[in-house]
Structure 1
Amino acid sequence: MVAAPSLPGTSYQSDTVEQILFSFYNSELYLMSVTYDQTATKGLTEEDMVKSISAKYGPATIVAVEIDAAKNNAYVMRQKPVASWEDAQYSFNLARSSFTDHLGLIIYSKRVNALADLAIAEAVRIEEQEGPNREAERQKKQTDDLEAARQKNRKIFRP
Structure 2
Amino acid sequence: MTNKNNTKRWLWGIGILILLAIFFIKIPVFVFEFEERTYFLMEDSFQLKWIHSVEKEEWIETYEMQEDELYLSETRFKTFGAGVPSSAQETQLENGFVKMNVDIRYPELNLTVSENVKTTIITEDSEIPIYTFASDYDVVHITNRRIHLWQLFMGGKL
- TM range, normalised to the smaller chain? under 0.3
More helix by percentage: 1
TM-score, length basis structure 1: 0.26
Structure with the greater alpha carbon radius of gyration: 1
